[in-house]
């Protein structure tokens, strides 16, 4: 084990309670940021549609809203009036962003909260004054008619075209000035840079540019869209002690606690830190019912403990399994446990007498949604002893959408027109597709003796006793695990 001083110094700017940042030989590709948390048992925000009010996440991360990115030599306007190349920015630097004031925008100082790299196809956007901006196709610039992506993608998103005027900063005046004259693919693969700022934007080569509202701290999720999400793990090393203290409060009413609602509690880091056994014991000792949602096979380690405490409190487990084809799984879900490994885990869970629901998500249009594929998958799930299955069609949220569009263009260009139709309105498959999937799934669910359904956006389960891991909680795993590279 060795100390990584540079990352520790930068982490202290963004991570309250940081104890140390370390690398270890057994996790050579991961950096651990160990923190002391003040609270681990957290209430779900009011107004949420989730069927639970409390959640625990011992590993901190984010659900990745989006990843916009630009060339490293892009000049960024600093708060002191100077410019610095995007690649050279550091967390904590003060730069300029914008803020709306009535119908106008004005420059305001903001801080760089996070800074990272990614590798994507790069496009050159040429403006009428000769300015050339290098950015990914999913990057967004502010135009006279709002934010627009560099390219169209597959979902009908607003995108740049010749003649569109970009909002620029000239001597502190922010207004539409320069028209786009051309957009051209210049590299199929280029290292690009992105930041998070307090305003959500920054001034890049004089143009107002959107940035990612990604996390200040990153946790390793087995599905993720950016390398930092894969390699930066924020660990609440005192989580079991904090949870135990919170559960001993006389105000605690022993309400259901859902784990795996934001980050997977059995991600790879759990193999090193072993936080979950003590958290489970704390919940059980106070009579608190709980459920766990995961696709990490590290959970098999704790099956005996879960079986033991289930005699005292209700315990539910949910597992994510989207497909059987190992080749397709490796192309779409690299780094995750194999389908067979997850089926084996489901069987071990149910053989131990624990209920286990399966999240079949994402169901990928034209690739994994055929009657034959779903029938074969549900056959295996039923044979493993699962108590139910919930199917959710692919969600193409920002970040996931751009990565999947590139993957589809490369691997299955013949499906692009179908996807533009299915996702014409944004992140969710259209109602026609969702209804068609539901009609296909329902008889298969009945055939295999499983409870569950396909879950279109906004739908609710049929009236019946709630399973230990509700479909709404299962859907949260999709939000964190949506396809990524």
Position 285 pLDDT exceeds 50: yes
pLDDT of residue 198: 80
Q: What is the DSSP letter of 261?
A: S
Taking residues 216-222, report their average pLDDT: 34
* 273-283 per-position pLDDT tens digit: 999 999 999 99
pLDDT of residue 46: 57
* 433-442 per-position pLDDT tens digit: 999 999 999 9
* 307-321 per-position pLDDT tens digit: 999 999 999 999 988
> Per mean pLDDT, which range of 209-213, 229-233, 337-341 is the poorest?
229-233
Query: What is the band of 457 on the pLDDT scale with cuts at 50, 70, 90?
Result: very low
Q: Where in the chain is the domain with CATH 3.20.20.70?
A: 2-65+218-394+429-481
Taking residues 108-132, report their average pLDDT: 86
Position 377 pLDDT exceeds 90: yes
Position 45 pLDDT exceeds 90: no
- Separation of alpha carbons 20 and 9, rounded Å: 9
39: tokens are 């609270």
Q: Where in the chain is the domain with CATH 2.170.16.10?
A: 75-210
* Overall fold of domain 2-65+218-394+429-481: TIM Barrel (3.20.20)
Place of tokens 């994402």: 362
At the top level of CATH, the class of 75-210 is mainly beta
- Separation of alpha carbons 103 and 175, rounded Å: 11
Position 2 pLDDT exceeds 60: no
Q: Is the peptide bond before 12 cis (omega within 30 degrees of 0)?
A: no
Determine which helix (DSSP H) or strand (DSSP E) holds 126, and give its type and residue range. strand 104-127
Q: How many residues are present in the chain? A: 485
Q: Tell me the percentage of the chain whose pLDDT exceeds 90.
A: 43
Mean pLDDT value across the chain:
79
373: tokens are 């594929």
Alpha carbon separation from 319 to 24, 347, 349, 475 (Å, rounded): 28, 11, 10, 11
| Alpha helices (H) in 196-275, listed in sequence order | 227-231, 239-247, 268-273
- Separation of alpha carbons 59 and 68, rounded Å: 25
pTM above 0.75, yes or no: no
């Amino acid at each position: 084990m060795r100390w990584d001083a540079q990352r520790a110094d930068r982490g202290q700017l963004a991570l309250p309670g940081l104890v140390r940042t370390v690398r270890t030989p057994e996790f050579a590709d991961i950096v651990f940021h160990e923190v002391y948390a003040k609270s681990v048992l957290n209430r779900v925000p009011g107004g949420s549609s989730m069927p639970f009010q409390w959640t625990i996440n011992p590993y901190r991360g984010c659900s990745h809203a989006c990843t916009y990115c630009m060339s490293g030599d892009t000049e960024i306007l600093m708060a002191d009036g100077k410019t610095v190349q995007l690649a050279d920015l550091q967390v904590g630097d003060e730069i300029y962003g914008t803020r709306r004031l009535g119908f106008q925008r004005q420059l305001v100082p903001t801080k760089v909260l996070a800074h990272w790299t990614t590798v994507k196809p790069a496009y050159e956007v040429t403006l009428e004054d000769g300015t050339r901006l290098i950015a990914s196709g999913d990057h967004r610039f502010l135009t006279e008619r709002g934010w627009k992506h560099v390219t169209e993608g597959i979902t009908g998103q607003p995108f740049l075209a010749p003649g569109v005027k970009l909002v620029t900063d000239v001597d502190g005046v922010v207004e539409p000035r320069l028209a786009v004259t051309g957009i051209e693919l210049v590299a199929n693969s280029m290292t690009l840079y992105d930041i998070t700022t307090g305003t959500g934007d920054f001034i890049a080569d004089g143009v107002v540019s959107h940035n990612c509202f990604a996390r200040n701290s990153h946790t390793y999720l087995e599905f993720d869209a950016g390398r930092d999400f894969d390699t930066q793990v924020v660990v609440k090393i005192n989580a079991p002690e904090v949870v135990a203290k919170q559960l001993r409060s006389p105000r605690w009413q022993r309400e259901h606690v859902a784990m795996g609602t934001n980050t997977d509690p059995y991600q790879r880091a759990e193999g090193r830190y072993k936080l979950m056994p003590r958290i489970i014991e704390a919940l059980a000792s106070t009579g608190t019912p709980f459920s766990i949602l995961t696709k990490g096979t590290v959970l098999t380690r704790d099956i005996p403990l879960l079986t033991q405490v289930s005699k005292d409190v209700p315990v539910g487990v949910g597992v994510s399994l989207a497909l059987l084809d190992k080749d397709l799984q490796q192309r779409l879900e690299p780094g995750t446990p194999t389908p067979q490994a997850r089926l084996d885990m489901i069987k071990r869970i149910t053989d131990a007498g624990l209920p286990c629901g399966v999240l079949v998500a994402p169901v990928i249009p034209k690739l994994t949604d055929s009657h034959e594929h779903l029938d074969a998958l549900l056959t295996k799930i039923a044979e493993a002893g699962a108590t139910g299955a919930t199917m959710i069609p692919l969600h193409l949220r920002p970040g996931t959408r751009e990565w999947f569009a590139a993957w589809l263009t490369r691997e299955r260009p013949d499906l692009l027109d179908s996807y533009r139709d299915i996702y014409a309105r944004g992140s969710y498959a259209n109602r026609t597709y969702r209804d068609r999937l539901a009609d296909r799934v329902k008889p298969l669910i009945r055939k295999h003796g499983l409870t569950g359904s396909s879950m279109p956006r906004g739908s609710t389960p049929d009236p019946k006793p709630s399973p230990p891991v509700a479909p709404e909680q299962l859907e949260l795993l999709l939000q964190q695990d949506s396809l990524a590279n």
